[in-house]
Amino acid sequence: MSSPATIPGPPGLPLLGNILDVDPSNTWWSLRNLAEKYGEIFKIKILGHEIVFVASAALAEEICDESRFRKFVGGPIVEIRYAVHDALFTAYDHEEAWGIAHRIIAPHLSPDSVAAHFDELLLCTDELVAKWTKRLEPGVKFQPLKDLNNLNLEATTLTLFGKKLGAIDMEGDEHPMIQAMEDATSEAMRRPNRPKLLNWLLYNGKWKKATKTMRSFATGLVQYRTEHSTGRKDLLWALMNATDPQTGKKLTDSQVIDEIVSMPIGSSTAPCTVTATILFLLQNPEVIAKAREEVDRVVGRTGLLKQEHVSQLEYIQGIARETLRLSCAAPGFNIEPIPSKNDDKSPVLLQGGKYQIAHNQAMIIVLAGVNRDPAVFEEPHKFKPERMMGDNFDKLPAGVKKWFGNGKRSCIGKHWAWEFLLVVTAKLIKEVDFQAVDEQYVLKQDGWFNIRPTNFYVTAKARGA
């Protein structure tokens, strides 16, 4: 067997390594650029710590094999434990809390449970459509992401926790919870790359303030439910009352708050995705025409969208998947080799020995590279919903379908997110005409836990008005 290939990467500086190759204010965009330059696998070193990145479909599929690899909880994920402790997203593989919470929560985020909240999701979406088509002054430009963030928080809180916030029509840009989530996740991304003393001296104030805001928001929801018993057996009820069928344990009061905080953070990728959909539709007017033909045929030009319509909107599903592919709103996830039971520290081989990594080497899947893999996609940068429909979609390798993570540690809210994407996308296509303020706008993204289009402005009016 030939010797393993050297994993490429940018040359670094003495001691500092590749700290200048990654923009701390836009980490994922930097990684996208590095993936485009170095290909399927690359590495960087930051302050002596080596990180390996995977950016091809084949390698992504290989390291998503749960018999060999598992989720790596490190770096920013460890930092965010300050806010949510051993919640589903941040729990270590060995922690009992993950299994208890997962078994309590999962039944309330199943496809059937999500479908039962369709009317509440539609109510929230209708409020946003009315704001954009009836209450905004004609020609007023706005950033759709801000309103979609409020819609997401409103819908999450109503469907899962049973409280109407009024966030869609609130004064100001966004609900305070949204800013707190951004402050917390952005700080979590930066903290691992700073000396601990510097974090403590200069940045702990913002960190603690964001955490306090998020946990106070969650505490308020618990208090509201305690004072306004509705008989709802929704997710909040389960968090507060349900018992794990395997261990007989309930979540502690602190763990209830942890999971409530985690839900809107996790779902915050959804409005980023819808914003990207609006952009891609404006850039591809023929897609809007096809989508409207489908919606008008399935729902009716003046008909009301119903739950049974959602599964019939196959082209809308293709649009949503193609947006997930290109926008990478959830930009990646961390993987590590499963430790050997006999303490074997032999290198781990990838691609049949083409590459090798240390037995404990953390890796990050960069979906901006994986999802544009030219070995899988013809014209990978083009927006083509047809390739994400029917047999075309079914034939794609599993490695390019990891928008919601992988295996047992995949996003527990993936069915909720999928429903949100389809309902909101269908409603906007059916009822709203958008116009880009800058017709030459080129996608540029920033973000932390999620990534989103920046400086993207539109105007809106009722369809055909």
What are the tens digits of pLDDT across the range 390-444? 999 999 999 999 999 999 999 999 999 999 999 999 999 999 999 999 999 999 8
Task: Provide mean pLDDT across the span 10-39.
Answer: 90
Confirm whether residue 411 is marked as ligand binding.
Answer: yes
More confident site: 236 or 204: 236
Mean pLDDT of the chain: 94
Pair of tokens at residue 76: 């920013």
* Inside any domain, residue 13: no
List the Cα angle 22/28/31 in 5-degree steps.
Answer: 60
Residue 1: per-residue pLDDT: 57
Summarised one tens digit per residue, pLDDT across range 254-269 is: 999 999 999 999 999 9
* Ranges 170-174, 326-330, 392-396: which has the least confidence: 170-174
* Inside any domain, residue 7: no
For residue 357, the one-letter residue type is I
Pair of tokens at residue 215: 């946990």
Task: Provide mean pLDDT across the span 142-160.
Answer: 96
66 touches 42 (CB < 8 A):
no
Residue 194: per-residue pLDDT: 79
How much is the pTM? 0.95
* Inside any domain, residue 205: yes
Residue 458, strand partner residues: 142, 436
Residue 125: per-residue pLDDT: 98
CA atoms within 13 A on the CB side of 200: 3
* Ranges 84-93, 186-195, 276-285: which has the least confidence: 186-195
Rg (CA), the chain: 22
Strand 332-337 to strand 363-366: parallel, antiparallel, or no bridges (unpaired)? antiparallel
386 touches 392 (CB < 8 A):
yes
* Inside any domain, residue 2: no
Handedness of CA 333, 14, 41, 68 (dihedral sign): negative
What is the number of domains present in the chain? 1
- 385: domain CATH number is 1.10.630.10
Asked whether the predicted pLDDT for residue 164 surpasses 70, the reply is yes
Cα distance between residue 173 and residue 91, in whole Å: 33
Residue 404: per-residue pLDDT: 96
Host domain of residue 311: 27-462
Cα distance between residue 331 and residue 412, in whole Å: 17
Report how far Cα 324 is from the mean position of its chain's Cα atoms.
9
* Inside any domain, residue 115: yes
Residue 172 — pLDDT band, cuts 50, 70, 90?
Answer: low
* Inside any domain, residue 94: yes
Residue 231: per-residue pLDDT: 85
Cα distance between residue 321 and residue 175, in whole Å: 28
Instruction: Give the CA distances from residue 410 to residues 64, 89, 151, 266, 333, in Å, rounded to whole numbers and listed in that order.
Output: 11, 9, 24, 11, 10
Nearest CA to 87 out of 266, 210, 328 is that of 266
Asked whether the predicted pLDDT for residue 9 surpasses 60, the reply is yes
Task: Provide mean pLDDT across the span 31-37.
Answer: 95
Residue 272: per-residue pLDDT: 96
* Inside any domain, residue 443: yes
Residue 336: per-residue pLDDT: 97
* Inside any domain, residue 11: no
